Amino acid sequence: MNKLEKSVDRLLKRMFRKYRYGMVKVFSYLIVISMLIQFIIEVPSLLLLVPFFLLISKVYLRHKSLLVVESTELENIDQMSGVDFENYLYDFFRSLGYKVKFTRNSADYGVDLILKDKKGIKTAVQAKRYNSNVSIDAVQAVEAGKKYYHCSNAIVITNSHFTKNAVELAHTCKVKLWSREDLIRTIPNDKKQNLIL
């Protein structure tokens, strides 16, 4: 075994230890790497392509790691209780710079959290950690709570989806809806994006 083969062998062993999950994809990726190394050795002028290949590899691995974070975080949310989901959203919005207040009591008027941005604009939030679609009742409740708590905006956030009636009423009342897809887009980028509520 020559020096290059030993190096590739060590690299393969390290990567297998590091990436226990998704072994088939990692193995495929490593096969491609070893084939490219062998090809570059046989055709030295292709060494100019090495920086390009390294950049592509870095982008690919970054993308894969983001997908794992999204998937894991959403699975964690799916296992939460309703109160845990409210706590999660509390921490999430605080990390974005909002002042956040709970409305936890027996009569919360359809609002779980009240957000206040740097301009003093208040948003009523209803959190729905559901296994089924969120109905029109959630939109009606948060709209009423928005008025009760003197908020300018209202939003219903769920790990699920919304019924057609809920979407139609939300559009009419200008209540924002965050479904499962919105959570997926938001989770890995929470501190990077400027959320408009």
pLDDT at 67: 46
Note whether 68 and 101 are same-domain residues.
Answer: no
pLDDT at 137: 95
Note whether 36 and 110 are same-domain residues.
Answer: no
Are the CB atoms for 149 and 125 separated by under 8 Å?
Answer: no
Going by C-alpha positions, the residue among 49, 10, 8 that lies closest to residue 31 is 8
Note whether 63 and 21 are same-domain residues.
Answer: yes
Note whether 57 and 114 are same-domain residues.
Answer: no
Q: Give residue 185's domain range.
A: 82-189
Note whether 86 and 164 are same-domain residues.
Answer: yes
**Total tally of structural domains belonging to the chain:** 2
pLDDT at 96: 86
Domain assignment present for residue 10? The answer is: yes
Domain assignment present for residue 196? The answer is: no
Last residue of a domain, one of 60, 78, 96: 78
Total-model pTM: 0.61
Note whether 49 and 96 are same-domain residues.
Answer: no
Last residue of a domain, one of 24, 59, 78: 78
Residue 152's CATH number:
3.40.1350.10
Domain assignment present for residue 195? The answer is: no
pLDDT at 135: 94
Note whether 109 and 46 are same-domain residues.
Answer: no
Last residue of a domain, one of 46, 78, 110: 78
pLDDT at 66: 45
Within 8 A by CB and 6+ apart from 184, the residues are 70, 74
pLDDT in tens, the chain (197 residues): 566 666 666 665 665 555 544 555 666 667 777 776 777 677 666 666 667 766 776 666 555 544 444 455 677 788 888 888 888 888 888 888 899 999 876 677 889 999 999 999 999 999 998 889 999 999 999 999 999 999 999 999 998 999 999 999 999 999 999 998 888 777 655 444 445 55
Task: List strand residue ranges (DSSP E) for the chain, in order.
Answer: 99-102, 113-116, 122-128, 153-158, 176-178
pLDDT at 192: 43
Q: CA-to-CA distance for 90 and 96, rounded, in angstroms?
A: 10
pLDDT at 65: 45
Note whether 90 and 180 are same-domain residues.
Answer: yes
Note whether 16 and 113 are same-domain residues.
Answer: no
Note whether 55 and 105 are same-domain residues.
Answer: no
